[in-house]
A and B are shown apart, each in its own frame.
Chain A
Amino acid sequence: TQLLEQSPQFLSIQEGENLTVYCNSSSVFSSLQWYRQEPGEGPVLLVTVVTGGEVKKLKRLTFQFGDARKDSSLHITAAQPGDTGLYLCAGGDSGNEKLTFGTGTRLTIIP
């Protein structure tokens, strides 16, 4: 069974600060996705990375896939209250048939 560990589990910071959350595994994934989930709703896809070392930017969010495709990070610059939510990483298996989700990072941005 492939496992994805996310850290930190909880993070609470002031508006305007920068932060990084991590997604780590001992397994290799063919692709890595990041989702954000609001309370009472389903997860919403933010980004998909497929190449080792790939970096993608989405406004103030920067996503990186590790060179060995075993880990990923999400960096948020100048965090805003609207960034509050549960961030989930998910790795695709070799056939891109099944997704394994990480344990999640619950982020709170304090105005």
Chain B
Amino acid sequence: NAGVTQTPKFQVLKTGQSMTLQCAQDMNHEYMSWYRQDPGMGLRLIHYSVGAGITDQGEVPNGYNVSRSTTEDFPLRLLSAAPSQTSVYFCASRRTGTGGMETQYFGPGTRLLVL
């Protein structure tokens, strides 16, 4: 049971390049999400998914695309990288419970530098 895995761990891009950040979970969680973490701003929600085939925007979706073709995988795409997208990106997953907020499990993060 690996939990939530993210690749790559580090990436340097030039402005305008595209890339995909990979995220996978082996806990059969319905809910998956992507956050970015910047100094002094906590974590901000980019996109989330409540199940395969369903995605929705979070607080800061501009410049990012997602898809959810399987329960396990939730890739994040940067179509044309900008320096403002330099950040640490975290993927997370959890069950969609019927009561309060379920435990959310985070991956180890991807550090992205856009030059």
Pick from B12-20, B66-74, B79-87, B98-106 the stretch touching chain A.
B98-106
Whether B48 lies near A42 (C-beta < 8 A) is no
- Asked if B108 is an interface residue, CB under 8 A from chain A, the answer is yes
Residues of B within 8 A of A99 (CB): 33, 45, 101, 104
- Give the number of chain A interface residues (Cβ < 8 Å): 27
- Find B106's partner among A1, A43, A103 (CB 8 Å cutoff): A43
Question: In the bound complex, do residue A97 and residue B50 qualify as a contact, i.e. CB atoms below 8 Å apart?
Answer: yes
Contact yes or no, B45 A42, CB < 8 A: no
CB contact between A92 and one of B40, B100, B105, B108 (< 8 Å): that residue? B100
CA A31 to CA B98, docked complex, whole Å: 13
Across the interface, do A92 and B43 meet the contact criterion of CB distance under 8 Å?
no
Q: Is the CB of A48 within 8 A of B103?
A: yes
B residues within 8 A CB of A92? 100-101
- The binding surface of chain A is classed by DSSP as loop
Chain A residues within an 8 Å CB radius of B41: 103
Q: Mark B75-114, 1 if CB is under 8 A from A, else 0.
A: 0000000000000001010000101111111111100000
B108–A98 touching, CB < 8 Å: no
Given the complex of chains A and B, what is the CA–CA distance between A55 and B35 in angstroms?
Answer: 28
Question: Are A42 and B108 in touch, CB under 8 angstroms?
Answer: yes
Contact B104–A45 (Cβ < 8 Å): yes
Chain B positions near chain A (C-beta within 8 angstroms): 4, 33, 35, 40-45, 48, 50, 58-59, 90, 92, 97, 99-109
